[in-house]
């Protein structure tokens, strides 16, 4: 005897299977695949791991910049160009990658980008260290690893409700700690195991992650891929005010972090006479503090508001840059200034994307994230070139740091007035 369904229950079993398959992203079923429970945290952890591994690969050239300068007799500008090329490619590449993530989802894009990044990593490790041209060629394609950020923001946002997205995106943003891992290990691996060692190790980790991501990741329930062509979606995204507001602010916040993470070893070695290893370790400390502050900034954005967190972060960055422009003694004033900027830039980066998740249309979070992420990367591309050029002309970094202080102060004022008004209007409309 087959029991009859009670009124209102028809189709529920089918709906459960459908929700399970949507959560998995590939039609597979299993236990715990609904949006509740621990499934979102699994997605967040795996996405963050992918961000870290790809950023580790993206940052491989930076710790070796001083060594290449000596071995290939590079100028200050050529050295800055070498470490900046992967940054600009990884930044601009986020624009199409973010839009492609809206279309294909993180389950496809995370492993795909990881596998593509293996090729330039192995090239640089095995063949590409003989000349500046070879390094620039490999560094250009190494930039693919930096585009993975535009995959994670829409992917993670889809798995968490609005009131928890700030913290979730802050945790995901901590994956930028891959640059700290690179700083701590690259030079030591080269000294102990040879010039190819860090590149081969990173290639292996990228391959392993691609397999794990393909098997574990799944799309959030209810995700609907857009049907519009890529170019049309990008054009529509470019017309949004939130895109340009957040792009400008992220260029300062995350751009400042990227600039210091790639150029700080050179700055410390030149300005304070530190050894390459000591400078790399101090840069790693800068990055680690920024990484720790990213989830803290996301949590604070959920608690007290992303606008307030971002404004304070930019103001602290301005003060720290102005102090450092006078080249104070490294201990304690210089160290305090740099660590203050690290904490502020980490928290400010998280607050920016907390605003993106709340202000951008749901079907354009990936595209907006791509453009904002591109602006952040470009914000990190320009300062190393400016710093190298200023030092080559004036023999001092003071002017470059003073310019950073002015820009950060202007961004803080813009946040307090324009962005605050936009957030209030968005809340009223909601």
Distance, CA of 428 to CA of 423 (rounded, Å): 9
φ, ψ dihedrals at 426, nearest 5°? -65, -40
pLDDT of residue 82: 87
pLDDT of residue 427: 61
| Whole-number Cα distances in Å, 327 to 332, 334, 392, 402 | 12, 7, 17, 11
Q: Cis omega before residue 332 (within 30°)?
A: yes
pLDDT of residue 18: 38
pLDDT of residue 13: 39
Task: List the one residue out of 61, 70, 66 whose CA is nearest residue 276.
Answer: 66
pLDDT of residue 32: 35
Distance, CA of 181 to CA of 82 (rounded, Å): 20
Task: List the one residue out of 346, 408, 364, 398 whose CA is nearest residue 154.
Answer: 364
Q: Where are the domains of the chain?
A: 37-429
pLDDT of residue 344: 95
Per-residue pLDDT tens, the chain, 430 aa: give them.
444 444 444 444 344 333 333 434 444 333 333 444 468 899 999 999 999 999 999 989 888 888 888 888 888 778 878 887 887 888 888 888 988 888 888 999 999 999 999 999 999 999 988 889 999 999 999 999 989 988 998 899 888 887 788 888 888 988 887 877 887 889 889 988 988 999 999 999 999 999 999 999 998 887 777 777 778 878 888 888 888 989 999 989 888 887 787 778 888 888 888 887 788 788 878 888 988 898 899 889 888 888 999 999 999 999 999 999 898 998 888 899 999 999 999 999 889 988 887 777 777 777 888 888 888 877 777 777 777 778 778 778 888 888 889 999 999 999 998 888 877 776 655 5
pLDDT of residue 30: 35
pLDDT of residue 281: 81
Is 37-429 a domain of CATH 1.20.1250.20? yes
Q: What is the DSSP letter of 416?
A: I
CB 122 within 8 A of CB 95: no
The 3-class secondary structure across 289-339, one letter per residue, is: HHHHHHHHHHHHHHHHCHHHHHHHHHHHHHHHHHHHCCCCCHHHHHHHHHH
pLDDT of residue 31: 33
Exposed/middle/buried for 124, CB within 10 Å: 0-12, 13-18, 19+?
buried
Distance, CA of 127 to CA of 73 (rounded, Å): 19
């Amino acid at each position: 005897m087959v029991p009859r369904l009670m009124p209102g229950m028809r189709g529920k079993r089918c709906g459960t299977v459908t929700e399970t398959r949507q959560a998995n992203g590939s039609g597979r079923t299993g236990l715990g695949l609904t949006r509740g429970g621990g499934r979102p945290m699994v997605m967040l952890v795996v996405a963050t791991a992918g961000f870290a591994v790809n950023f580790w690969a993206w940052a491989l050239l930076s710790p070796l910049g001083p060594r290449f300068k000596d071995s290939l007799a590079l100028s200050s500008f050529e050295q800055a160009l070498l470490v900046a090329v992967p940054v600009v490619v990884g930044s601009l590449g986020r624009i199409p990658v973010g839009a492609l993530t809206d279309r294909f989802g993180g389950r496809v894009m995370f492993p795909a980008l990881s596998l593509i990044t293996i090729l330039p990593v192995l090239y640089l490790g095995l063949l590409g260290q003989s000349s500046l041209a070879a390094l620039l060629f490999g560094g250009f394609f190494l930039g693919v690893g930096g585009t993975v950020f535009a995959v994670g923001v829409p992917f993670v946002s889809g798995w968490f409700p609005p009131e928890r997205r700030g913290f979730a995106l802050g945790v995901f943003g901590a994956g930028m700690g891959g640059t700290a891992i690179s700083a701590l290990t690259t030079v030591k691996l080269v000294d102990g195991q040879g010039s190819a060692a860090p590149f081969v190790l990173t290639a292996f980790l990228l391959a392993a992650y691609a397999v794990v991501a393909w098997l574990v990741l799944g799309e959030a329930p209810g995700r609907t891929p857009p049907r519009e062509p890529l170019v049309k979606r990008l054009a529509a995204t470019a017309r949004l005010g939130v895109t340009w507001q957040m792009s400008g602010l992220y260029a300062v916040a995350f751009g400042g972090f990227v600039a210091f993470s790639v150029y700080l070893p050179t700055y410390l070695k030149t300005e304070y006479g530190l050894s390459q290893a000591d400078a790399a370790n101090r840069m790693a400390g800068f990055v680690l503090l920024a990484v720790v502050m990213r989830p803290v900034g996301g949590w604070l954005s959920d608690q007290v508001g992303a606008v307030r967190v971002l404004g304070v972060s930019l103001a602290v960055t301005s003060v720290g840059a102005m102090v450092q422009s006078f080249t104070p003694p490294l201990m304690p004033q210089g160290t305090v200034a740099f660590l203050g900027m690290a904490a502020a830039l980490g928290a400010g980066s998280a607050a920016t994307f907390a605003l993106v998740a709340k202000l951008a249309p749901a079907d354009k979070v990936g595209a907006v994230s791509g453009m904002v992420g591109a602006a952040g990367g470009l914000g990190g591309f320009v300062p190393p070139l400016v710093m190298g050029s200023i030092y080559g002309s004036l023999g001092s970094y003071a002017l470059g740091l003073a310019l950073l202080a002015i820009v950060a102060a202007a961004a803080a004022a813009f946040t307090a007035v324009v962005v605050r008004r936009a957030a209030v209007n968005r809340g009223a409309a909601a």
